[in-house]
Amino acid sequence: MKEYKEKSLKGFRKKSIWPSLILFFVFLVFCIGLIVMIMSVFEEYIMDSKIAGVYEDAEDLGRLVKANKEENIMESLSFVGRNLKKENGICLTDRDNQIKIIYGKSRPDFNRREEIDLFDTYIVMPDQGAQQMEWDNMLMIPVQELWERTMDGPIRLNNDSKQMWEMWLREEIFTVNCWLEVPLNFEEYHLYYRDRVRLVRKDILYLIVVGIIAISALSLPIILLLINVLSSIVIQRRMVKLLYLDTITGGKNWTYFIHHSKKILNRVSGSKNTYAMVNLHMDKYQDFCACYGNKSGEELLEHISGFLQAKVGKGEAFARFATADFGLLLKCQSREQCEMRLRKMLAELKGIRKDKKLNYHVGIYMIDPLTHQKGDKKHYRRQVDVDQIYHYASAARQEVMGNEGQYIKVFDQQILEEQLWKRKVEDSMESALLNKEFQIYLQPKYSPVSGKLVGAEALVRWISPTDGLITPGCFIPIFEENGFITQLDDYMISGVAKLQSERKLQGKKAVPVSVNVSRAHFTREDLAEHICQLVDSYGTDHGSIELEVTESAFFGDKDMLQRIIKELKVYGFSISMDDFGAGYSSLNSLKDLPIDVLKLDMEFFRGEDVEKRGEIVVKETIQLAKNLNMKIVAEGIERKDQVEFLADQGCDMIQGFYYAKPMTVQEFDRRVERDS
């Protein structure tokens, strides 16, 4: 999908303009060619009409000669020759072009006999001794010469005189003498007629008018097409601007950042520079919006964007990624210089709103310059994944979230290994669930008074065929982040229900087993019915399973949580609050929710002041739970004195290494049988 989107954007930027430009230039060339063709055809028509006029005179002479008998040809030609104009001529030859009779000042050049194809075909010859250039240019007069001859006259004429104007129009600007063969019926003779082919200004003006008309007729579609091309370019630029617009800040968006950052990093000149991909995160933006409104929040983001725009230089880039996260591509001399620059920026950003205290955290991924090998002409970065390196910068930033006094973190090998492990877990979690690589381990719960095994907690271990035993801390946080934890919950509930059902069918002693239900599961409205279906599929007694809810779940949708817990109670399940005291516990939760078991977090039993203040807190918590008819389980107990103290305070069950570590189901069964 990502590659398809990039390809589509690239195609959009290119294909929107070029087809229109190509079409315009093709049409323009076509129009120019059409105008040239029209002018050439009309010029040919003019020349044809001029030669045709001479040819008509020649045909008249031929008809006169044909009307006479053969013996009177000489006499007829003699009569015509005496009455010729000085520019005309007549020549009679035999079959071998031997002249029999000729009238006029020149004779035809039989060696330069030529056929001219205009609208008709004409056989012509120049005067003997005529200049080669003059004859060859008869039909191909240079445009510059033609224009100079045409416009030479008006300078010397009075334009107020109509008669002089007409004389100017009829004035010859180009003439050439030529001989045309006259068709005869006598095979033993050939007759040739000489006359002038004349071009006058009027002919050229006609040609110019035709050209102007043709240009005018084709100018309109050319102009319309040009307007369309320019409009396409303007529209395309506007669409690209909108495509790259961040509607919240008014600056560039993430699509632009990806494209522009790739462009910077892929340059040959950029390969010599050190760059830093930066994830800049504003802390508690949602709280800011809750206090001051969404409009103020968006105005703050706009101010941050304006600040960053002023700080980002040429050859660098920035854009808002999402919510209050900004991505920056900065050119740096070194890692230290980059951190110093960002610290200065953070110091200024904290004071961007003088009436508000703002905090930021930054993650950095360093992009080292490429080393040029000898002989390389061009060396540049290939296949730069901007999204991926920004993800690395974001991962580095998350490492310092919540660490007081630390605001900047550079992505290092440890973070990379964590990211690779996370990717590996996410790639294999589905198949691991199908292959039953997740195993149930049980940690016994003991009564501190009798020392008997009275219960257990089901814990998960991942037995990987490649990595061996994987502890929960290595994969549970990842599952909670990506939502896979709900599938693991179902797997564990089903597994515990199956174990309890098998023990009952085998006639073995069964003790209550608690199993965790993650906070993410409590967004499901039919959770109680869903858990019943999982347990009932094995015919397991609901009272043999205890459902543990973490303390953090009590700070979500409290109404839904109350309803689900009450439904589970109706179905016969026991409910316990896990890790009580690990976070910010609310006494209202104990008041409003029908909890059966309260599990004290191990942090109650750690610390330097455990013998004094810690004992007081534990003592009072146990008394409070007793008054609310709750059972107490203390977890994480490792020492005998802790067991004795809890026994004196009336603690119901103890879970910890003092009695037993988490163990396989087979080991747990053996321990149950031994204790019984």
Helix (H, G, I), strand (E, B) or coil at 366: strand
Q: How far is CA 595 from CA 528, 556, 588, 592, 630, in A?
A: 15, 17, 12, 9, 7
- The one-character DSSP state at 384 is -
Tokens standing for residue 468: 């061996």
Residue 643 has pLDDT above 60, yes or no: yes
H-type helices in 412-546, by residue range? 413-434, 476-482, 485-505, 527-536
Please provide the DSSP assignment of 35-66 as one string.
Answer: HHHHHHHHHHHHHHHHHHHHHHHHHHHHHHHH
Spatial separation of the C-alpha atoms in residues 166 and 168, rounded to whole Å: 5
The domains of the chain, with CATH numbers, are 22-140+175-213 (3.30.450), 254-370+383-411 (3.30.70.270), 429-675 (3.20.20.450)
CB 97 within 8 A of CB 110: yes
Calculate the dihedral angle through the C-alpha atoms of 497, 503, 509, 510, rounding to the nearest 10 degrees.
Answer: 0
- Mean pLDDT of the 321-334 span: 91
pLDDT tens readout for residues 429-460: 999 999 999 999 999 999 998 889 999 999 99
3-class secondary structure, 552: helix
Percent of the chain with pLDDT over 90: 29
Query: Do residues 565 and 575 make contact, with C-beta atoms less than 8 angstroms apart?
Result: yes
As a whole-number percent, the residues of the chain with pLDDT over 70 amount to 84
Contact call for residues 251 and 320 (beta carbons, < 8 A)? yes
Do 288 and 222 form a contact (C-beta atoms < 8 A)?
no
Q: Which two tokens stand for residue 233?
A: 């370019």
106-158 pLDDT, tens per residue? 888 888 888 777 777 777 888 877 665 454 555 455 556 666 666 665 545 45
Q: Which tens digits make up the pLDDT trace of 378-409?
A: 555 667 788 989 999 998 898 888 777 778 99
* Alpha helix stretches (DSSP H) within 272-334: 285-292, 294-311
Q: Within 13 Å of residue 254, how many CA atoms lie on the same side as its CB?
A: 12
Cα–Cα distances (Å) from 589 to 578, 603, 659, in that order, read: 13, 20, 30
Model pLDDT, residue 220? 83
The reported pLDDT for the residue numbered 277 is: 94
Q: Is the pLDDT of residue 286 over 60?
A: yes
Name which residue leads in pLDDT, 628 or 161: 628
> Which has the closest alpha carbon to 419: 359, 369, 468, 363?
363
Residue-level pLDDT at 568: 93
pLDDT band, very low/low/confident/very high, at 661 (cuts 50, 70, 90): very high
Q: Is the model's pLDDT at 307 over the cut of 70?
A: yes
CB neighbours (10 Å) of residue 482?
Answer: 12
